[in-house]
Amino acid sequence: MLHDAGLGKEFWAEAVATANYLKSLSPTKAVKTTPHEEWYKEKPDLSHLRTFGCAAYMHKPKELQTKLN
């Protein structure tokens, strides 16, 4: 994941956490459902998933914004 995203080794913890999260959203052979479905009894919402390492932007509220000089 790190190599494919072009990220350095300093992001290994995020890559492991992401891989673990995706594993819990993936179906298993044993029960034909996802671990998330077994625990919460509902299908997981996958609409928030993005490619690992994609650009992300943070919104800064107007109260915290300052003019650039």
How far out from the chain centre does Cα 22 lie?
A: 8
Joined together, the tokens standing for residue 40 give 């919460």
Distance CA 64, CA 6 (A): 32
**Band of pLDDT at residue 12, cut at 50, 70 and 90:** very high
Q: What ranges do the domains of the chain cover? A: 2-64
pTM of the predicted model, to two decimals?
A: 0.64
Contact by Cβ (8 Å): 18, 9: no
What is the per-residue pLDDT across 40-52, written as a single tens digit (0 to 9) for each?
998 888 898 888 8
